[in-house]
Structure 1
């Protein structure tokens, strides 16, 4: 969702929540550990499995190890979303780095339509949040903001690729990629990377070459 409300969350912050928790710990590391524990719960039971008590148990400490930083369940979900999106941003930059300007659209779309690492877990989390959380919730607001930013990225890449109608190209790819995220959860075996990748590549070529008057 650059986008993909897709790619991997490796947590490269240097500390695993399964390790012994030191008395003094950097705030960024603590939030990363809490986010990882939250995503582990989502992987096994969806967002219904997420609670302050469950996250604290997963980390191996008391609830205050969580509530001192994130006092509500809503903030737990927001924190998990923030860390997921930050990881995706970093990976997106790595993927497009070095790509020629006119190739970035194809590279971005191909990356967004792949499934690796924790992608399925993150898509599940995002879909459940969008479907079940209040529209005004912080987590929904983050996802909405990220989607709009991703669309802007597609539009800029479409212009750089020489698309005759960059706005139309970005709109179509945005909708197709969002549909792919749902399909990848609905039938992951039916939409593997070796099927989706060539389809997306072909769609990008068609959109770039499309006559804006037709």
Structure 2
């Protein structure tokens, strides 16, 4: 009887190893040989699914966006209150959890080296489009239509800035400080009252 192979699970493991290599060593660390070594198999274990490093990176973007969509759907299901849903989304978007920090370390390293990897540009465009769509959706009804795009830009820049600071200064930009910053930003743009509770 032929052995059943979980192809989706194998692809997912390859992408997860790739993300770990990116987070710790950047693009130079990501080779098909090293991914295979980390998985404990031969190069063909990887090339069966991904013939090139670019193919792995393309799928990394697709898989992360799919994971993000599911995680955001789970967050949104937790409350019907729009401001709380926005706060929970921002808490998710910031690197307040170990897995999110590792994901952002990988993303920032890829960003720094994107000139040497043509597929990286498409990856970042997909990430940005997904983040902006989510922000727009979470802001609808909380800001007027005229201000919506400005507030989307403001929150996008703020999340990116805090993320970079959290990666650069992990001990200084603690999860608590990141969440306090996000709440203060929502107060500043008039979405929350100054005396609203912090998470």
TM-score by length of 1: 0.78
Whether 2:91 is the aligned partner of 1:117: answer no
Residues 89 and 156 from structure 1, CA distance in 2 versus in 1: closer, same or farther, beyond 3 angstroms? closer
Report if aligned partners of 1:102, 1:162 keep a CA contact under 8 Å in 2: no
Whether 2:103 is the aligned partner of 1:126: answer no
Aligned residues: 189
Per the TM alignment, residue 70 of structure 1 is displaced from its structure 2 partner at its CA by: 0.4
Per the TM alignment, residue 143 of structure 1 is displaced from its structure 2 partner at its CA by: 2.3
Greater relative CO (CA pairs within 8 A, separation 6+):
1
Report if aligned partners of 2:22, 2:109 keep a CA contact under 8 Å in 1: no
Correspondence for 2:185 among 198, 203, 207: 203
- Structure 2 residue aligned with 1:158: 139
Q: How do 1:1-214 and structure 2 match up within 5 A? A: 24-103=4-83, 104-134=85-115, 137-163=118-144, 165-209=147-191
Which shifted more, 37-46 or 53-62?
37-46
Report if aligned partners of 1:84, 1:122 keep a CA contact under 8 Å in 2: no
| RMSD, aligned α-carbons | 2.4
5+ residue gaps, structure 1: 1-21
Supply the distance in 2 between the matched residues of 1:44 and 1:142 (Cα, whole angstroms). 19
Which shifted more, 67-76 or 147-156?
147-156
More helix by share: 2
Supply the distance in 1 between the matched residues of 2:49 and 2:57 (Cα, whole angstroms). 13
Per the TM alignment, residue 116 of structure 1 is displaced from its structure 2 partner at its CA by: 0.9
Q: Moved runs in structure 1, 4+ residues, more than 4 A?
A: none
TM-score by length of 2: 0.83
Supply the distance in 2 between the matched residues of 1:36 and 1:121 (Cα, whole angstroms). 11
- Structure 1 residue aligned with 2:196: none
